[in-house]
Amino acid sequence: MFLIIVISLFLCASFFSPIHGLGAWLLLLVIHGIIVAVFGDGLIHLPLYAGLAVIVSTLLQRQWSSLRSHIVWPFGLLLVIMCVAALQGINLGASLASMALYLKSFLLSLFVAGCIKDEKNLKLMLLYLLTGLVMGALYAVYQSVTNTFSINELNSQRAAGLRGDPNDTAMLLVAGVPVAIYFFSTNKTVFAKALFVVSLAFLLFGIVLTKSRGGLVALMFVMFLIYIRRPNIKSTLFGLVMVVFVSLTAPASYWERVGTLVYGEKRGSVSMTGRTFLLNTGLKSFVDNPVLGVGPGNFGNISNFNPGLNSLFFGKDHAGVESGKKAVAHNMYLEFFVENGVFGGLLFLIIFGKALLTSLSYDKGRVTGGGAGVGFIIVVAISGMLFSGLFLSQGKSSVLWFMVGLALATGQIARTGAVVARARAVNK
C-alpha cells in the first residue's frame, strides 16, 4: 500500500510539474538507502517504479525534447560493444544482468538531458541533490548520536545511510560540497548564506563520520578544483576554515585510519592488501583479454581469493547484508576495461569526457558575477564522483548518471539559446 501511495504521489507531482517530478525522483535516488534502512527491503525497487511514473507522465505531456545524434550514439555504440563482450564472456547470465543495470543508467542520463530546458531547471536539480545529500549527512549524525553505525565494531565505528557502504556514502556527500559552496556564493541574503553554510558543515561532518579514506582524498580533489579556478585570498580563507572545521570535528580514530594510506594498516586489516590483490588480478585479466574483455558483470568470476580476503570482498558487504559470492574491483575504470575490453573502456571514458567538456563550455559568455557558473559546479560535482571511482565500483550509480544527464543538458540549453539569439538578430 505504501508503495502504491508513493508512486501515485510521483505520478501526480509529475503531472502538475514535470520538472519538480524529476527533482523528486533525484531526491529519492539519493536517499534511497535511508528509506530501505528505515522501512525495509520491500522498498528496494521504489526508485524504479517512481521513475517509471515520472517518465510516463513527462512523455505524455511531451515535456521531453529529442537529443542530437552526437549525444545518443556513444551510448548506443557502447551497448553494442558490451553485447559482443557478453556473448564471448565467461557467464552470459551475469553479463545480461549487468547490462540491464547499465542500460537503465544510460537511459536515465538521456531522459534527464531531454527534460532540462534552461538554467533555472539546472539549479533546481542541484537544490534537490543538495537536499538529499544533507539529509544523508543528518542521518549519519543520527547514527553517531544513537551509536547505530553501519559498521559498529570494536576498532571501527563508521556511519553511512545514503548507501549501505560508508565509502559509497562519502562519495555522494563529496559531490554536494561544491553545490553548497555555489549556492552560498550566489545567494545574497543572510538567511540563504547561513542555510548553505550549515548545509556545507553537515556535509563535511557526514564525510568525517564515514571515516572514508577515499572520501577525504576526493574532498581534497574537489576543493583543489574549486580553488585553482580562482586562487585568491577569499577562496584561500574559505578553504582554511573548512580544513579547520574538519580537523576539529574528526576523531583521532579517523586520522589513524587516514594515516594507513601512508604507513600501512594495522590490527590485521586486509582492506588495502585486498585492493592491491584486486588491482593485480584485474590487470592480468585485461592483458589476457584486451579487446573484448571477460564480459559485463564477470569481474568477480576471475578473482580466486585466498580465505583472508573472502570476508571483506564478498559474502557480506559492510552493512552485513548478503551480497552474493562475487567480488567487485573497487575501481570502476579497471572493472569496466576488464569486463568490456579496451574499446568499450575508452568509449566509457569518452562519454564522461564529453559530458564534462559540454558542461564546462556552458559558462562561456555567461554572466557569473565573477564566481563559478553552474556548468563548472556540475563539472566539479561529477569530477568528485569520478575521482572516487578510482577506489569504488560506481559505474552503475544512478546519481552519477543523473548528473551526467545534467551535464549533457547544458549543451542542449546552450544550443537552444544560440538559436533564439540568431532568430532575434534576424528579426531586428
Residue 84 to residue 106: CA distance in whole angstroms:
18
- Convert the pLDDT of each residue in 70-104 to its tens digit: 999 999 999 999 999 999 988 899 999 999 999 99
128-167 as b/e, with b when 16 or more CB fall inside 10 Å?
Answer: bbbbbbbbbbbbbbebbeeeebbbeeeeebbbbbbbbbbb
Evaluate whether residue 214 is within a structural domain. yes
Residue 218 to residue 222: CA distance in whole angstroms:
6
* Lowest-pLDDT choice from 154-168, 196-210, 344-358: 154-168
Is pLDDT at 426 greater than 50 in this prediction? Answer: no
Find the domain containing 59 and state its range: 1-64
Q: How far is CA 326 from CA 3, 283, 390, 396, 403, in A?
A: 30, 18, 19, 16, 28
Query: Do 232 and 337 share a structural domain?
Result: yes
DSSP class of 428: -
- Convert the pLDDT of each residue in 116-138 to its tens digit: 999 999 999 999 999 999 999 99
Cell numbers given for 28: 529519492
DSSP class of 41: G
Evaluate whether residue 295 is within a structural domain. no
Q: Which of 101-105, 329-333, 418-422 has the highest mean pLDDT?
A: 101-105
β-partners of residue 158 are 151
Identify the band that residue 150 occupies on the pLDDT scale cut at 50, 70 and 90: confident
Cβ proximity of 86 and 96 under 8 Å: yes
Which pLDDT score, from 0 to 100, does residue 311 have?
47
The half-sphere exposure of 286 on its side-chain side, counting CA atoms within 13 A, is: 20
Number of domains in the chain: 2
The distance of Cα 54 from the centroid of its chain, to the nearest Å, equals 21
Evaluate whether residue 98 is within a structural domain. yes
Residue 78 to residue 343: CA distance in whole angstroms:
9
Is pLDDT at 163 greater than 70 in this prediction? Answer: yes
User: pTM of the predicted model, to two decimals?
Assistant: 0.90
Among 64, 93, 115, give the residue marking a domain's end.
64
Non-local CB neighbours of 234 within 8 Å, separated by 6+ positions: none
Amino acid letter, 333 = Y
Evaluate whether residue 250 is within a structural domain. yes
Based on the number of CB atoms within 10 Å of its own CB, is 95 exposed (0-12), middle (13-18) or buried (19 or more)? buried
Query: Largest alpha-carbon pair distance within the chain?
Result: 76
Average pLDDT over residues 271-294: 83
Is pLDDT at 412 greater than 90 in this prediction? Answer: no
Query: Do 22 and 6 share a structural domain?
Result: yes
